[in-house]
Amino acid sequence: MPLLLHDARAVTRSEPAYTATLAYRPIPSLVVVPIVVDQRVIGAIVVEGDEPASIGVEEARNVGLLAGVARAFLEKVWEIEEVTLRARTDALTGLANRRHFDEQLRRVVAETDRFGGTSSLIIVDIDDFKKVNDTYGHEAGDAVLRQVGKIVGDGVRAVDICARYGGEEMVILLPQTPIAGAAELAERLRAAVADRAVLFEGTPIRVTASFGIAGYPQTVPHSDWLFPAADKALYQAKESGRNCVKTLLTSDGLPSKYNTGLQ
């Protein structure tokens, strides 16, 4: 509902009026008119007055008319944003999809080339995932993917890119992060996955995951080699018994097609 406060100082005296991230400041007078579409608030028009009672009923009515005009435009912006979000999101896990990840990988590599430093890539693979599907069914497998995806997504910074790359494989791209930092993150995520059972229809399902890490240019001198290097490290983790983190420190372990010309 619209809100008109002729004197808003009493309700804005002890805390910020809108959000805790904004600095405190008393507001003499205030009108807030929500923009509502299908009983959902998609925005608001907020007008503050410099003095108490400087905003009256007539001014509030005019703000309401402006909200009516803005509704159609803001609704269209929301629709475009939702379509864009769906196009770059994996529907099951809520992580980015492979297409969006590939776009972000090119961006991060270009920024690394421009500004220097190291960007790291972690490949995550759920161990024995086929056994989960065979034992409990594909819906249980979906529940496992959702939980592991949530653990991965919740465990990273806002600047990091998490994606479901395919099947039970997920990737984490860490801009401006050396391999040591990526390894610390991977170990925290590995422990979290192993510690949290997935509860499916009352049955706890325990899974583990293996992690492979590489860095550009810390591991490989060419950006096209970053994913194969992390994949090689993941293979080493699987060969070492799974449920562990492996880091490829040099490109010497890569196939010859990724190793040509190295000193």
- B/e letters for 123-162, b = 16+ CB within 10 Å, e = fewer, are bbbbbebeebbeebeeebbebbbebbbebbbebbeeebbb
Burial class from Cβ neighbours inside 10 Å (0-12, 13-18, 19+) for residue 239 reads exposed
- In the chain, the domains with their CATH numbers are 3-87 (3.30.450.40), 98-258 (3.30.70.270)
pLDDT score for 145:
97
Query: d(Cα 248, Cα 121) in Å, to the nearest integer?
Result: 11
pTM: 0.71
**pLDDT of 88 strictly over 60:** yes
Query: d(Cα 195, Cα 150) in Å, to the nearest integer?
Result: 14
pLDDT digits (tens, 9 = 90+) for 119-130: 999 999 999 999
pLDDT digits (tens, 9 = 90+) for 180-237: 999 999 999 999 999 999 999 999 999 999 999 999 999 999 999 999 999 999 999 9
- Residue in 51, 75, 79, 168 annotated catalytic: 168
Query: d(Cα 69, Cα 61) in Å, to the nearest integer?
Result: 13
51 is a catalytic site residue = no
**Six token digits for residue 38:** 């299908």
pLDDT digits (tens, 9 = 90+) for 75-86: 888 788 888 878
Torsion on CA atoms 46, 49, 52, 57, rounded to nearest 10: -60
pLDDT mean over 80-97: 88
Spacing of C-alpha 13 from chain mean position: 35
Residue 201 falls in which region: left (phi positive, over 0), alpha (psi -120 to 50) or beta: left
**pLDDT of 253 strictly over 70:** no
pLDDT digits (tens, 9 = 90+) for 110-165: 999 999 999 999 999 999 999 999 999 999 999 999 999 999 999 999 999 999 99
Neighbouring CB atoms inside 10 A of 18's CB total 11
**pLDDT of 25 strictly over 90:** no
